[in-house]
Amino acid sequence: MTTMRMPIRGILKASAAAAIVFTGLSAGSALAGDAVPQNDLLNATLWMQRSVEYKATTLGIYNLAKGQLDKALADKTWTAIPDKQGENFGDKPPAIVLDADETILDNSPYEASLVTRGTDFSPKEWTAYVKDKVTRAIPGAVEFLQYADSKGVKVFYVSNRTVEEKPASIENMKELGFPMGGNVDTFLASGQEPDWKSPKESRFAFVAKDYRVIMMFGDNLGDFTDKYKGTHDERMKFFTDNAAHWGHDWFMLPDPEYGSWESNPFNNNYKLSADERRKMKIEALEPWKPKE
């Protein structure tokens, strides 16, 4: 075997280079060890909890709605769901229909828990969170609904919280100052009646039998129509066909954390892995392509 000898200067240079490489590798290993897990909820939850922009948006929506409420009360022909009101609805007492979660109730503490613990939504954990009664009010919601209540408007909450979750939800909302209907059951939970499932139009019709529904509020298309699980084009057609409602008697609250918009790109198929769902969401984007 022939050995090759290296001048001492070369040995020193090689040693120094090796030390730099080793140091770099060690630093890289340390950085890799400290890597922060990625979570699709992070920016959305941070925005909802910490930004002035989110609070300004929701407060602005409810301030706009207050002005529209006064107009609706003065106009007996005004209804947010004309297809469900029937005849002579102008003689019925006025009502507002709202979704609960992320429309009037801020559940970002639960979403933040998912981010910080690196876990996913769990129905069992969600129920435990609801029963803890730590949900917050979305800025502007309590004040607007108290104003509506003072004007004699009955406020109905059409929520997909379950019957099991209903008592704690009502207690939490009372503590936050939401009007709860007095001797009228105004919290219409999922499963409360046989046909009250996730789609909500049967509950809208239930309210419309006895009340003139003058406004609707939600954070998801499903808070306005049962067509929320349609294709992207079908959802867009519903949006366009009902353009006159938005900001007039229908009010959409921002929710960047979850909703039918997020599940639509992967066809609402939660049996897919998180990576598969993320891949399909990326493929649904319409990116700008820089010129080469």
Q: Give CA–CA dist 11/5, Å, rounded.
A: 9
User: Does the global pTM surpass 0.85?
Assistant: yes
In this predicted structure, what is the pLDDT of residue 264? 96
Q: Give the residue extent of every domain in the chain.
A: 42-282
Q: Give CA–CA dist 245/149, Å, rounded.
A: 22
More confident of the two residues 37 and 164: 164
Contact assessment for residue 85 and residue 75, using Cβ atoms and an 8 Å cutoff: no
Beta bridge partners of 187: 157
- Asked whether residue 27 carries a pLDDT value surpassing 50, the answer given is no
Q: Give CA–CA dist 167/160, Å, rounded.
A: 14
Burial annotation 244-283 (CB, 10 A radius, 16+ → b, else e): ebeebbbbbbbbbbbbbebbbbbeeeeeeeeeebeeeeee
pLDDT confidence bin for 211, thresholds 50/70/90: very high
Question: Which of 114, 117, 158, 110 is CA-nearest to residue 136?
Answer: 110
What are φ and ψ of residue 285, in 5° steps?
Answer: -70, 155
In this predicted structure, what is the pLDDT of residue 55? 98
Q: Give CA–CA dist 286/284, Å, rounded.
A: 7
Name the strand (E) or helix (H) holding 213.
strand 212-218
Q: How far is CA 263 from CA 12, 180, 286, 292, in A?
A: 59, 32, 17, 33
- Asked whether residue 186 carries a pLDDT value surpassing 90, the answer given is yes
Contact assessment for residue 139 and residue 171, using Cβ atoms and an 8 Å cutoff: no
Question: Which of 26, 28, 27, 49 is CA-nearest to residue 106?
Answer: 49
pLDDT > 90 fraction of the chain, expressed in percent and rounded: 85
Tens of pLDDT, residue by residue over 139-172, are: 999 999 999 999 999 999 999 999 999 999 999 9
Tens of pLDDT, residue by residue over 214-242, are: 999 999 999 999 999 999 999 999 999 99
What are φ and ψ of residue 178, in 5° steps?
Answer: -75, 135
In this predicted structure, what is the pLDDT of residue 287? 96
In this predicted structure, what is the pLDDT of residue 64? 98
pLDDT > 70 fraction of the chain, expressed in percent and rounded: 89
Residue 236 DSSP class? H
In this predicted structure, what is the pLDDT of residue 69? 98
Tens of pLDDT, residue by residue over 55-106, are: 999 999 999 999 999 999 999 999 999 999 988 999 999 999 999 999 999 9
Domain 42-282 - what CATH class? alpha beta
Contact assessment for residue 49 and residue 111, using Cβ atoms and an 8 Å cutoff: no
Q: Give CA–CA dist 172/175, Å, rounded.
A: 5
The two structure tokens encoding residue 214: 């003058």
